Chains A and B, each alone.
Chain A
Amino acid sequence: MNRSEPFQLPKIVPTPSRFRNPIGKFRLHRTDDCIACGKCVEVCPYGVHVIKRGRVVIARHDRCVGPECPEPCYAVCPVNALSIRRNPDFDVMGDARWTPDLLVSTWHMAEFGRVPEKGYEYRTGGSGGGFDKLRLVFPKETGTSPKQTDEPDIGVVLNRRNDTAHRIRIEVPFYGGGMSYGSVSIHTMLSRIKAAAALGTFCCTGEGGYPDELKPYDHNVITQVATGLFGVREETIQRVRIVEFKYAQGAKPGLGGHLLGDKVTPGVARMREAVAGYPLFSPFPFHSVYSVEDHKKHVDWIKAVNPKALVSVKVSTPTDVDMVAVGSYYAGAHIIHLDGSYGGTGAAPDIAKKNIAMPLEYAVPKVHRFLQEEGVRDRITVIASGGIRTPHDMAKVIALGADGICTGTADLVALECIRCHNCESGRGCARGIATTDPELLNLLEVEWGSQRIINMFLAWRSELIRILKKLGMHSLTELVGRTDCLVHLDYLKGR
């Protein structure tokens, strides 16, 4: 930030669910035997029960932590009027990567700005590999070493070339990944960008153009130049401080983008300079780039249009991702952004999401090592994305060799995405997140959305700081590439 005043973190403002019935893991049942003695209200630390006009009612099923509760209401009820069971709705949501536990934990963070106290696994998902099999290893507490009290620095310097482009430092080690106008609603876009601005970081427009509504946040916008060149104009490139080239996307590496006709509303069509109602293809690859020299020409083009802009190169993770990263550095990129194969998308063939290119957990250490061997690791910023769901994933990928991360799906989960995987069909997201339908997009207000995302990231931030302190580190940069701080459960010996 080039501003003179010191950066001020935004405040946590409790921001509950948009829906009348938030979903949690458990459901409590109260029989007519209840004598309204208020014992349950008294013992519950989570505000599940409330007294209303002389009667006790359950206000927040979703806050119940179940058997992990220190003093369960159903055990102390003098008339045994309370019983608990697992909520069937809970198990219908989510999937192996975003388990229902992770969804509800993220909602908790988005509501309260802190990780859940009990009852939910908020650190790892259920994919059975990668991040979900890696664990952070903390040094022994000896009792003699002084407890670290100062707050570790978690900011990230984005320009390491020390050239004439902007000197940009983000206050938190993450920024918002590209989600286009069209794939998500303008309310979702604004929620993300407002949150990014408040957190002293950035958010990317994706490739669907640069809506005028974002103008007040130019200082925190990354605009994307992708193969479709939708809405890319000189003026949009000159407006921002970072320009991102998208060569490929982790969810559909080697495939173009495809916005179905239903989602091309008149507004989207105007923004993309296309015809409403017709599907839009973003081809693959850039047909102007067939070599690393052509890629340099691309970077030079941006630098000619906006000499102060940082250039980020977003690529997928093929076997030769390390070569691609080094090539990008020599072509003049400031940031190499690796998007792993389990990343998000508005629509992609299932076969591509599952099978093409390698998971992020393999790509990051490979690139980190190769850049080190080439002697240029400290001259380029490595940003990782594609399947980072939790603050623990963030710490792990940095320990594997990234400088910072990009998020996308996590932001949408903060806005109450339940991973139904229907973003692409018909009118788009029925919950008003990934849609351009005028009626549906009004289900989500920008103020609410930005505060939810701010809260979630403040929880991520606190958790990362807790992790760094526990590791005895004073700066996030100390964690980069420290694979000795990680253990893989399949290889763990003698424990």
Chain B
Amino acid sequence: MPAKYAIHTSTMPHRFQPITRSGIIAWEEGCLKCAVCVKKQCVYGVYDRRGMDPVQMIDSIDNQCMNCLRCVQSCPKELIHKSLNPEYEAMGDAWWRPDIIASLWSQAQTGKIPVSGAGYPGPFSGPGFDAMWTDMSEIVRPTRDGIHGREYISTAVDMGKTPDHLSFDERGNLTGDLPRVADIPLPIILRMPAFGAIGPETMKGWATAAKRLGTLFSLPWETADHELAEFGPWLLPSIAGKGDSVQIPSGARVVEVAYGDGWEAAADRIQNREGAPLVSIRIPMTHDAAETVLSLVKAGVSVIHLEGTMDGRFRDDDEAWVKDGIRAVHLRLVEENLRDGMTLLAGGGISMAEHVPKSIICGADAVVIDFPILIALECRMCRRCTKGLSCPVAVEGAAADWIASRVVNLVGAWQNQLLEVMGAMGIRDVRRLRGEAGRAMFFQELEKETFSAMDQVEEGCDIE
């Protein structure tokens, strides 16, 4: 087997105090000045370690508090309380929830898988990706790599058209051209988010992260700073126009063209450039997407990027989820016997590590992530930047190196979580996971099978 792919993470501190779910309220009035104050007895030493952040004038106490409530429950005058933080609850929106944002911050800081004690605290299920569970295997399965196994789980994917067979001459040499593929070591592609306080350093940081990870960073190329061209092999330049006058960075392996009038001409022009990069066509996730994808594949397109909205929905239907769109497109391609001749990238609203294996189970080869790489830089999804106001965490002022490390940490944590999920179900190669819907359980089906018959209450019966 080829050398094992590993992402090296290391702690990269926040620049600002993160917003916490709850805060401490401690009153001084009425204090008895006990010889041994409950604050001195804090198991975590929170009150001793507190300090004022000089830049933001914020007390660090809330970020150290672990919510054991012992001080609240022990102060003889009941002067200490905790309260939910309205600033936390107001963060983001219904899709980019405060808990998701806070978890992304922490993963970007530590590079570690989020681990906690006690059972799952969240809702039973939810919309989109929350309406599915992944499978596990009780006994027969390969080992999870890293701990005790010699084998490891591969997360590499190839982009492009892989041939269904190879031909050799009498002497055993390959005849014909080798397939043109671009391989990435993990099924995650970075993409510049649609908004953000993004400056030249930010872009350089993201490109550096892509280079360190060995993956691609997708960005609108016509308006980009062409100094980024030095990152050629790790860029996925996106072209909006006809592409006639655009300089493609040298070494670029894949170039993206937006679906629309003239895409064919642009694709032709790009493929005939030196290095002959692969062309990926980006199409919006809509109810017509499956038919569009079919026509593109039949026209010879080998990479297609399906893009939903930033809250994981169809672009033409608020009630339809990207998860179901990927499944529909994948199944249509399988039906037409075209699936193995192309690569399907999916994006739009990918906000948690679990969305990677879930998208792949639904039929994508790899996912495209955008806002997570901004939230890794402490973005609070406040959208002030979209109104021309200053960024509360000054993303545009962050250094490229810090940015790259934060993003590498985040993606490292995600890759590790992908390995956990694959390990649990006994799959050793992420390419084998694609479209394996049998390795998932879907809420709608289970719910109907289990509960649909439980629909009767006779008149006058009591329920509780």
Contacts and interface: CB of A to CB of B under 8 A. Distances in A.
A347 B454 contact: no
A283 B141 CA distance: 12
Interface in A66-101: 88-89, 91-93, 95-98
A137 B457 CA distance: 7
Contacts of B358: 355
A231 B196 CA distance: 54
Given A247-B138, A487-B457, A345 B117 contact: yes
A294 B139 contact: yes
Interface stretch (A194-202, A236-244, A315-323): A315-323
Interface size class of A (residues with CB under 8 A): 35 or more
Contact of B454 (A97, A134, A284, A351): A134
A409 interface: yes
Interface string B190-202: 0000000000000
B456 interface: yes
A22 B447 CA distance: 39
B69 interface: yes
Interface string B447-461: 101111111111011
B454 A483 contact: yes
Q: Could you tell me the dominant secondary structure of chain B's interface residues?
A: loop
B63 interface: no
Given A20-B76, A97-B122, A135-B463, A350 B114 contact: yes
A426 B44 contact: yes
A492 B453 CA distance: 9
Contacts, number: 282
Interface in B411-462: 417, 420-421, 423-426, 438, 441, 446-447, 449-458, 460-462
Contacts of A487: 454-457, 463
Given A23-B73, A353-B120, A138 B464 contact: yes
A256 interface: yes
B116 interface: yes
B354 A351 contact: yes
B384 interface: no
Given A247-B139, A324-B138, A351-B421, A488 B119 contact: no
B35 interface: no
B463 A355 contact: no
Interface magnitude class on chain B: 35 or more
Contacts of B456: 137, 484, 487, 493
Interface string A127-167: 11110111111111100000000000000000000000000
A306 B175 CA distance: 66
B125 interface: yes
Contact of A491 (B67, B133, B451, B460): B451
B44 A430 contact: yes
B304 interface: no
B11 interface: no
Interface stretch (B81-89, B206-214, B267-275): B81-89
Most chain B CB inside 10 Å of its own CB: which residue of A140, A253, A281: A253
Interface in B115-157: 115-125, 133-141, 143-144, 147-148
Residues of A contacting B: mostly: loop
B298 interface: no
Interface string B380-420: 00000000000000000000000000000000000001001
Contacts of B81: 88-89
Contacts of B115: 258, 347-350, 424
Give the most central of B117, B148, B441, B457: most A CB within 10 Å.
B117
Contact of B117 (A346, A491, A493): A346
A244 B308 CA distance: 47
Interface string A362-393: 10011000000000000000000011000010
Contact of A354 (B73, B354, B446): B354
B59 interface: no
Interface string A107-145: 000000000000000010011111011111111110000
5 contacts: A137-B461, A253-B136, A254-B425, A349-B115, A356-B425
The 4 closest A-B pairs by CB, nearest first: A129-B124, A254-B424, A423-B117, A95-B121
Interface of A: 17, 19-23, 88-89, 91-93, 95-98, 123, 126-130, 132-141, 247-248, 250-251, 253-256, 258, 281, 283-286, 289-291, 294-295, 315-316, 318-319, 324, 341-359, 361-362, 365-366, 386-387, 392, 409, 417-427, 429-431, 434, 440, 470, 483-484, 486-488, 490-493, 495
